[in-house]
Amino acid sequence: MAGFSPVIGKIFGIPLQLHWTFVLLLIFSLISPALFAYIVLLFAFVTIHEIAHSVTAKRNGIGVKRIVLYPLGGGSLIDMNKVTPELEFRISIVGPLSNIFMGGILGIIVIFLPSGYIHSFVQLLFLVNILLGALNIIPAFPLDGGRILRSFLQSRYKRFRDQSDATFLVSKISSAFAFGSFALAIISLFLPGPSESYRFLLSFSFLIVAFYIYAGNKAELYSSYANKLADRVKIGDILSKDYVLVEGSDPVSELHKYAKDGVLKPVLYKNSGKYFMVSKVQISLSQKRSSAPKISDFGTEIPALSHNPSVKDILNAIWLEQAPGAVVLKGASIRGLVTRQHLEYVLALHSSQKL
């Protein structure tokens, strides 16, 4: 579904991306003008929330690759290998505080406004910010509260100094919150008193929270264990020389030369000092064009690492760039290729053997 997550612009030079769940939520909200207005306001304040995270990270020397916006929060893709528990706490807490701060200002404004449409509109903005701030303090992944709790455990207790141990405990708490939110979504449909539309909106909100926590929690747990396993994997286990380096100016039709037994090897090309990888899906799409496109019309940029990177460095680079792989360089030449699929396979194999 990553292809349905569009980049809609940049803020402070950082690409701003809508996660597909947010896109789906926007489409679904078109069934009701009131619901659509609610989601648009949510989008605006989630963006401000994420800017607070990103600015804090950059001020502490941490580069931010991308901001991804979800329905109840967002994610700033940063190099977590460089983030200490104390810094993770500061980066995490500033998001909810920004929403509570904005909510406080709007609350003061509401007091002095006369009754009417503007009063109701500003009051809604106040409630949305307070709700965002409160929800993100919940100690569950992928909400900020989960990272705040993890950083607190790592800083305060020796048994949780290893991030994976702290992550596992917070993950269990997150699962309980996801289940509780789902139960509340069901209960909300049968509440006596409120109107049917109010019950539906309340139930829908709890359902979104449950799904968001469940999916984000699984991703956070996987990321933590993958990093721990990466320390146990040798670079030789994941590095491959079974790839093809071509000229980007060549026609796509030339790629059939590199198919062995009907299986196409990974295809790489270099353009302006950057490396790109062409997937089988992209090649299949190219065959449907009436013209004969060049290889450089396709492909996804992948990171290039040098100076004997560790497996953890490679894993982190692929995650930060959301890339299908990475090349490892030796001087000006390619030492080998690491595909995301093979890396995940090796990590899964080590997981079954050693964890």
The CATH code of the domain that includes 322 is 3.10.580.10
3-state secondary structure of 242: coil
CA distance 76 to 53: 7
pLDDT digits 0-9 by tens, 291-330: 557 878 778 899 999 888 889 889 988 988 888 999 999 8
Q: Is residue 152 part of a domain?
A: no
The answer to whether residues 106 and 188 belong to one domain is no
Compute and round to an integer the Cα radius of gyration of the chain: 23
6 domain residue, yes or no: yes
Residue 315, C-beta contacts closer than 8 angstroms, at least 6 positions apart:
226, 227, 230, 343, 347
> Is 67's pLDDT higher than 60?
yes
Q: Is residue 146 part of a domain?
A: no
246 within some domain: yes
Per-residue pLDDT averaged across 8-20, rounded? 81
Residue count of the chain, please give it: 355
- For residue 287, what pLDDT is reported? 53
With respect to residue 142, please indicate whether it lies within any of the assigned structural domains: no
> Are 61 and 88 found together in one domain?
yes
146, 170 in Cβ contact below 8 A?
yes
Tens of pLDDT, residue by residue over 130-170, are: 988 888 899 999 889 999 999 999 999 999 988 889 999 99
Positive or negative torsion for Cα 291, 294, 297, 299: positive
Picking from 196, 214, 230, the residue at the C-terminal end of a domain is: 230
Cβ burial, residue 117 (10 Å; 0-12/13-18/19+): exposed
Which amino acid, 18?
Answer: L
Look at residue 233 and give its three-state secondary structure: coil
Pairing of strands 267-271, 244-246: parallel
Which of 215, 230, 245 terminates a domain? The answer is: 230
Please report the beta strands in the chain, taking only residues with DSSP state E, as ranges in sequence order. 7-11, 14-18, 64-70, 73-78, 244-246, 259-260, 263-264, 267-271, 274-278, 300-302, 304-305, 325-330, 333-339
- Please state, for a pLDDT cut of 90, what percent of the chain lies above it: 26
Residue 304 CB burial class (10 angstroms; 0-12, 13-18, ≥19):
middle
Per-residue pLDDT, 223: 85
Q: Which domain holds residue 83?
A: 1-137
Angle between helices 33-59 and 20-28 (to 10 degrees): 160
pLDDT at 284 over 70: no
My answer on whether 240 and 220 are in the same domain is: no
**299 within some domain:** yes
175 pLDDT higher than 90: yes
C-alpha closest to that of 342 among 259, 233, 215, 257: 233
Does a cis peptide bond (omega within 30 degrees of 0) precede residue 142? Answer: yes
Of 64-78, 211-225, 233-247, 254-268, minimum mean pLDDT range? 254-268
| Helices 20-28 + 196-230 axis angle, to 10 | 170
Residue that is written with structure tokens 């302006």 in the block:
272
Looking at the fold, whether 117 and 247 belong to one and the same domain comes out as no
Taking only the tens place, the pLDDT of each residue in 95-104 is 999 999 999 9
Q: What pLDDT is stored for residue 335 in this prediction?
A: 92
> What domain count does the chain have?
3
Q: Are residues 1 and 85 in the same domain?
A: yes
Q: Is 46 contained in some domain?
A: yes
In this structure, the answer to whether residues 104 and 225 fall within a common structural domain is no
Residues 217 and 169 in one domain: yes
Over residues 251-274, mean pLDDT = 76
Task: Provide the pLDDT confidence category of residue 63 given band limits of 50, 70 and 90.
Answer: confident
- Distances in Å between the alpha carbon of 201 and those of 49, 68, 110, 196, 330? 23, 25, 24, 9, 57
In a shared domain, residues 7 and 123: yes
Is the dihedral angle over the CA atoms 124, 129, 134, 136 positive or is it negative? positive
Same domain, 77 and 112: yes
Under the banding of pLDDT at 50, 70 and 90, the label for residue 355 is: very low
Pair 94, 172 in one domain = no
Q: Decide: 40 and 23 in contact? Cβ < 8 Å.
A: no
**Residue 32 placed within a domain:** yes
For 177, list phi and psi in degrees, rounded to 5: -65, -40
Same domain, 127 and 167: no
The rounded distance, in Å, linking the Cα atoms of 226 and 223 is 5
Classify residue 262 by its DSSP letter: T
Tokens 């196409």 locate to 264
| Domain end marker among 230, 259, 285 | 230
**Same structural domain, 58 and 107:** yes
